[in-house]
Structures are given as C-alpha cells and as structure tokens.
Amino acid sequence: MIRCDCEQFQHFWLPLVIVGGLVVLTAWIGQVADHSIVVQAVKPGHDPDYFVDGLKAVAYDDAGVPRYHLTAVRLQHYMDDDTTTLESPLFVRDGPDVARVEAVAKRGKVSPDGKIVYLYDDVNMHQQARAGGLPIEMRTDYLKVLTDEDRMSSNRPVVVTQGGSRLSGNAMQADGKARTFRMEGRVKGIYEIAR
C-alpha cells in the first residue's frame, strides 16, 4: 500500500509551481516587449494655432518713424506651414518724403519673416497725388508687396488710372525708392493731355 504524505508533497511541489509560473510570466512579458507598439507621428492638420481679430500693426524704421501699417478684420496663423492669412487686409505705406499708398483686398497672406505681404481678390491700390500731379488708382487680383524694399509687383492683369489716363497690362512692377513703374505683356493705354 502506498501512503501519501500530503504535507510533504505540498512542501516539495509548491516552490516548483511558483518558479514555473514566474518562468511563464517572464516569457509572456518578453513576447509583449518584442512586439513593441509602433507609434506613428501624426502630422498636425492645417488648423490655426492662433488668431487675432481687429489686427492693427505698425512697422518702424531704425529712426522710429512708421514705415507701413497693416490692418485686417482677422489674422490667422497656421503652424504646419508657418503661414499667416489675413481677412480684408489694408496695407498703408506712409512716411516723410513718400506719397501715401493704400492697398486693400478681400484676403491676404504674410510671409513667415513678415517682409512680404500678398494681397488677393479685388485688390485696389490708391497712391496719393504728388505735388502738381493727380492720384493714381490701380486694380488687380493679386499684388505682392516687398515691405523692406518698397516694391510692388503683380503677375496678373492690372489696370492703372490717373485722371483721364488709363493703362492696362498683363503684369506690373513698381519701385517706390527708384520711382519707377513698368507694365508688361499686352499693354494698352489712353493718355489724357492736360490743357
């Protein structure tokens, strides 16, 4: 007859069961660690990270004299491509010894460094009359303003009027410092002679 001493049996096998359980648990944790979780980088969407309602900004020269003003109904900045958009922008170049220029549009954009202002859709520019002259009006769908260089350009059709004179072309470049204006493409014009 075989006699079982259960108490002795329990003392002998219990440590083996615990060690076996630890071996199985360690193997399972190792498998989970080998199948590491792949985390995909999520690109930020084209959503604004900040906005400003009723924007009024002024840029000054080294002497502290205002060079230009920029206002807009709303400014929105997008972090994914570092663009800044403008709703109903108004760009004003003003200062001593320069004719005041105002350009308004339905929408606009500012370069990341703030040195270029782009105006889009129904762009109207007005230059104050110089001594002995008439004011100049310009209409286009796109205007690029290089603020530090005091230059403007457009690669879209442009119509310029001054009094009864009218000039139209496919593109335009203007340099405020050199006081030059150039039309390109199919240029047509009517020039009114003062009497």
Residue 152 lies in a domain: yes
Report the alpha-carbon distance of residue 72 to residue 53 in Å, rounded.
8
User: What does the pLDDT read at residue 66?
Assistant: 85
Position 27 in a domain: no
Single-letter amino acid code for the residue at 31? Q
In this prediction, residue 94 carries a pLDDT of 82
Helix (H/G/I), strand (E/B), else coil: 11: helix
- What is the pLDDT averaged over residues 65-81? 88
The set of residues, in sequence order, having a beta carbon less than 8 Å from that of 184 and lying 6+ positions away, is 169, 170, 171, 172, 173
pLDDT in tens, 123-137: 999 988 877 788 999
- DSSP annotation string for 46-97: S-EEEEEEEEEEEEE-TTS-EEEEEEEEEEEEETTTTEEEEES-EEEE--TT
In a domain, 171, yes or no: yes
Tell me, what's the pLDDT at 50?
Answer: 82
Average pLDDT, the chain: 81
Residue 195 near residue 172, CB atoms below 8 Å: no
Is residue 74 included in any domain, yes or no? yes
Average pLDDT over residues 72-82: 88
Q: Within a domain: residue 30?
A: no
User: Number of structural domains, the chain?
Assistant: 1
Higher confidence at residue 41 or residue 102? Answer: 102
CA–CA dist 190, 187 (Å, integer): 11
Residue 157: which CATH number? 2.60.450.10
Q: Does a structural domain hold residue 39?
A: no
The answer as to whether 40 is a domain residue is no
- Domain limits for position 69: 48-190
Residue 22 has pLDDT above 80, yes or no: no
pLDDT digits (tens, 9 = 90+) for 165-191: 899 999 999 988 888 889 998 989 888
44 band by pLDDT with thresholds 50, 70 and 90:
low
User: Is residue 22 assigned to a domain?
Assistant: no
Confidence of residue 10 (pLDDT cuts 50, 70, 90): low
At 147, is the pLDDT very low, low, confident or very high (cuts 50, 70, 90)? confident
